[in-house]
Amino acid sequence: MFDKLVALLKRGGTVTTDQLARELGMSPEVVNGMIDHMTRQGWLRAMSASCESTCNACVFARDCTREAPGQMWQTSSLHLTPTKPLKSSVD
């Protein structure tokens, strides 16, 4: 399921949790949990634009939908290789 979420995020642009949840067929709460986990592991990073410059000068201009709610995400060179070691739940 993480692979499907990553594929959706790699499409680029802004996206809401509700949009992701609909496309994945799961609840927004589960999607938020997945995003939180992936962010903590270093697989995702939320992108933010300052919107202080005109859109033509903004590095996010191609993907941003300023008027629409949502978040842009940067994925690490995702083959789902974390930048932090995974903690084992098995001792």
Q: Measure Cα distances from 61 to 9, 28, 50, 86 in Å.
A: 17, 27, 12, 35
pTM of the model: 0.59
In the chain, where are the structural domains located?
Answer: 2-75
CATH class of 2-75: mainly alpha
Q: Each residue of 5-54: pLDDT tens digit?
A: 988 888 766 778 888 999 999 999 999 999 999 888 888 877 665 555 55
